[in-house]
Chains A and B, each alone.
Chain A
Amino acid sequence: MTKNVLNYSYYPGCSLHASAKEYDESTQELFKILRIGLQEVPDWLCCGATPAHNVDELLSLSLCAKNLELSEQVEGDLAVACAACFSRLKTAQHKLEENPEKRKQVEYALDAPLTMDKPVKHLLEILAKDYGLEQLSSAMRKSLSGLKVACYYGCLLTRPADVPQLDCAEAPTIMERVIESMGAETVKWSHRLECCGANFTLSRPGVVLQLSNEILASAQRAGADCIMVACPLCHANLDIRQKDIEAASGTRYNLPVLYMTQLLALGAGVSAKKLGFDSMMVSPLPLLQEKGLV
């Protein structure tokens, strides 16, 4: 058993164990083949996502602080896949570091002192900075060349500017650099950072139909074959709702929406069967077969 190159504690979050199972599976497969250790944090809680911070800030901070404390039990920086979980955990860390009053309140709520030592990293940062783009390239077994990818960041990966600290807030390039190291071609398109409608998919779906339509239209205009995401909710809005969007706008898109780890794992040589392509509403299989990747 060869030793791991790097080791991380892992916070999958609720979506990755449910509607975004393929994001979790592909992440685990990718990291296994890259020999990066991922150990799930025991008994983790929901991060609270949008509902918590919208309703009660103390609840939101406490949930995240609890998760951060739980993660101290596992060695290695905390790896997070879901953009929303990432944003909530980083925000909590930021707020509790800056505001001693809030920190006291959370410690009271949890009835325990906070260490707040664990760096929280998104998978993109782990792959691009810790593992390294050159290493990633040398791990490529099946080049994704010929595949035109529109990298979709959404709202939370790089913003607000001082919280995630992942890349330049309004003009980031980290997703492009990561997928290009596997040979894919990325397109320059206008709606990389525009909102998909997020939680309105439950309360006001019309908003999602409008906003996500703009995103799909922009990707199509730019000549993309597929859209790459790092967020389960963005995926849901762009993939699950794509038929509704096509009906509402009268335009045919047929644009597969893939998680970044699905594409990266494919490039690293993981079998397509293990990457959950079947559970997606807009099947990527015809496209991948056409490009000789499956």
Chain B
Amino acid sequence: MSRIGVFVCHCGENISRTVDVERVAEAARKISGVAYACDYKYMCSDPGQNLLKNAVSEQKLDGIVVAACSPRMHEKTFRKAAQSAGLNPYLCEMANIREHCSWVHEDKEEATAKATEIVTMLVERVKMNKKLQPITVPVTKRALVIGGGIAGIQAALDIADCGHHVVLVEREPSIGGHMAQLSETFPTLDCSQCIMTPKMVDVANHPNITLHTYSEVENVDGYIGNFQITIKKKARSVDMDKCTGCGICMAKCPQKKIPNAFDKNLGMRPAIYVPFPQAVPNTPVIDRENCTWFKTGKCGVCAKVCGPGAVDYSQEDQLIVEDVGAIVVATGFELYSIAEKPKGSMIKGYGEFGHGKIPDVIDGMTFERLASASGPTGGKILRPSDGKEPQSVVFLQCIGSRAREKGISYCSKICCMYTAKHTMLYHHKVHDGQAYVFFMDARTPGKGYDEFWRRSIEDENAVYIRGAVSRLYEKGDKIVVMGSDISLGIQVEIEADMVVLATAVQPRTGAELLAQKLGISYDKYNFYSEAHAKLRPVECATAGVYLAGACQGPKDIPDTVSQASAAAAKVMTLFAKDELEREPIVAKVDDKRCVACFYCKKVCPYGAVEEKEIRDRQGNLVKVVAYVNPGVCGGCGTCQATCPSKSVELDGYTDEQIMAQIEAL
């Protein structure tokens, strides 16, 4: 005969305001098999947990139901408490009478009745619960970091410095990400490359970091502590071991006019190239799509002039497999473009700004490349159309961001600051030039941020106009900006030489594909979802995968670096133990009933089902049955629902447990 204990929590007022908790406890007492029921203000508090532990030992309970918040909140808490009182933690269930009841219904009678039913269902279920022992799996103490921008670099260095091996995979030929494209960084106006390149070199030289550039993650198998990552190393056409980085191949390449994406297509590069001079690794790649040799079979100059003979046209893409225990995702962002979007797209373009076709209307990153000393204009601010120096530049804030009608409702966080920075860079380089900024609000919450922003107005003579811009059009060689000044209540028209748009920060194109490979969640904008917005900002709901940087949401450099170190710390927590305790929610096959149809094997998403031979004492094969590897099983239960002979059972979600809940309806 069961001796179940029911503990009904008030949760302060959260539950007791709409659910009569005393009545629920009273009703629970009447259920057959319930030996003890009570209500308490805060079950998760110390005294609440002690109440639970005492009841378990004094009342000799063999199962408990805590009627409180969502199990996603406190199941672990109460299971731990039960365990410390000597009760197997899997004999503890939670009845969700808060998120699913007291918070969503107003009528006290209805809410109380519903709460009572929910408790009854869980009591009947817990009677069928079995004692389960945790499974231990070994942890591979190596980490994978996807993305070699500042977030990936920081996370990799932190983990490597703790003595664990890191595999860093970067899609571009060089690490550095967007930070390498920046000219100076707010709020200090540090030269971006100067503060970043030492870290990049550290990554390249670190004995604990294996750097795979020009590579992508093809496939992810396994689970926390035991991932197998398939990485595609794209063919560079250059042997990395032989190349000395002398650069003669690039100088001699006859194809010099390929637009360089790093320079936002304002600068040109050859077919064999490094994206920027400070590239790490400093080994070029051949852009096979634009290379004469690969298109026509003629040329081959780079191979001829290469002293060490490092150029290798026969190189092919390679697939390698790395075993890791944890994954840090640091894939960063890209900027929204105002170009016309395909019909039916959630996000719209800005037809009123010319859909990106006006040459002197550029985005913030393009302005950075103009301002950068190693950029296509050597650091001079020049108009892309005719190379003249603009005497008036109008900056527009919130292009795409905070624009529900364009499909993006969020704020991109970094633009107020970088636009202020741009007005300063512009003023430093074009002393007589005039900068105008059309803005809605100034969001400058960081340390030293607001002071920096004010400098733009007070020291650099930027004119800030609070208002939006409705249209940009060309008039001669100028661009007319039609906007409004809502502080003065007038329409404003400015004839500008150049317009810089602060465009929204978006996740990279294809971000959702990587998320699906990793099995992690993402929101409607394709930003990766953290496990809890406030309390678990660097973990994913999927165990073993962590987030760092702008792939999780728009972020500036200080926050990115913080988050990267936080993700590294979480990885270190995982690696601090040799073994990981896994939840024993795994499937088990009953040898006697299994008919060896192996439907379970076909449907298992983890490939956890193996074939097991049953032999008699003489060693003769009796039959082959299915066997679930408890280390690999993910605990989804698809096998059980598929099995025609009902021979496989998912511990923790058996048919008996579920049927008991349904019977109690």
Contacts and interface: CB of A to CB of B under 8 A. Distances in A.
A251 interface: no
A193 B350 CA distance: 14
Interface string A140-183: 00000000000000000000010000001111100000000000
Nearest to A189: B473
B475 A168 contact: no
A170 B473 contact: no
Interface residues of B, number: 13
Given A161-B405, A221-B475, A190 B480 contact: yes
B403 to A, nearest CB: 13
B379 interface: no
Contacts of B109: none
Contact of B351 (A170, A190, A191): A170
Interface string B463-476: 00000000101110
Interface in B567-624: none
Interface string A195-225: 0000000000000000000000000010000
Nearest to B473: A190
13 contacts: A168-B351, A169-B351, A170-B350, A170-B351, A171-B352, A171-B354, A171-B355, A172-B351, A190-B471, A190-B473, A190-B474, A193-B471, A221-B475
Given A171-B354, A190-B471, A193-B352, 20 more contacts: A161-B348, A161-B405, A168-B340, A168-B351, A169-B351, A170-B350, A170-B351, A170-B352, A171-B340, A171-B351, A171-B352, A171-B355, A172-B351, A190-B473, A190-B474, A190-B475, A190-B480, A191-B473, A193-B471, A194-B471
Nearest to A158: B351
Interface residues of A, number: 11
Nearest to A221: B475
B159 to A, nearest CB: 48
A193 B355 CA distance: 15
Interface in B351-372: 351-352, 354-355
Contacts, number: 24
Interface of A: 161, 168-172, 190-191, 193-194, 221
The 10 closest A-B pairs by CB, nearest first: A170-B351, A171-B351, A190-B473, A170-B352, A168-B351, A171-B355, A169-B351, A190-B475, A168-B340, A190-B480
A221 B405 CA distance: 32
Nearest to A192: B473
A172 B340 CA distance: 11
A161 to B, nearest CB: 7
Contacts of A193: 352, 471
Contacts of B480: 190
Contacts of B340: 168, 171
Contacts of B354: 171
Most-contacted residue by chain A among B340, B351, B475 (CB, 10 A): B351
B144 to A, nearest CB: 43
Taking chain B's interface residues, is the majority helix, strand, or loop, or is none over half, making it mixed?
A: mixed
Nearest to B472: A190
A194 B350 CA distance: 16
Interface in B294-329: none
A168 B352 CA distance: 10
A161 B471 CA distance: 16
A170 B356 CA distance: 13
A170 B473 CA distance: 12
A217 to B, nearest CB: 10
A221 B474 CA distance: 11
A169 B355 CA distance: 12
Contacts of A194: 471
A191 B352 CA distance: 11
Contacts of A221: 475
A168 B475 CA distance: 23
Nearest to B353: A170
A275 to B, nearest CB: 32
Nearest to A171: B351
A221 B355 CA distance: 22
A221 B473 CA distance: 13
Contacts of B351: 168-172
A193 B354 CA distance: 12
Nearest to B493: A214
Contacts of A168: 340, 351
A170 B471 CA distance: 9
A172 B355 CA distance: 11
A170 B354 CA distance: 8
A161 B351 CA distance: 11
Nearest to A168: B351
A39 to B, nearest CB: 32
Contacts of B475: 190, 221
B435 to A, nearest CB: 24
A98 B360 CA distance: 42
Contacts of B348: 161
A272 to B, nearest CB: 34
Nearest to B343: A168
Contacts of A171: 340, 351-352, 354-355
Contacts of A191: 473
Interface in B450-480: 471, 473-475, 480
A221 B471 CA distance: 18
Contacts of B350: 170
A172 B480 CA distance: 20
A235 to B, nearest CB: 23
A171 B348 CA distance: 12
B560 to A, nearest CB: 34
Most-contacted residue by chain B among A161, A169, A170, A193 (CB, 10 A): A170
Nearest to A190: B473
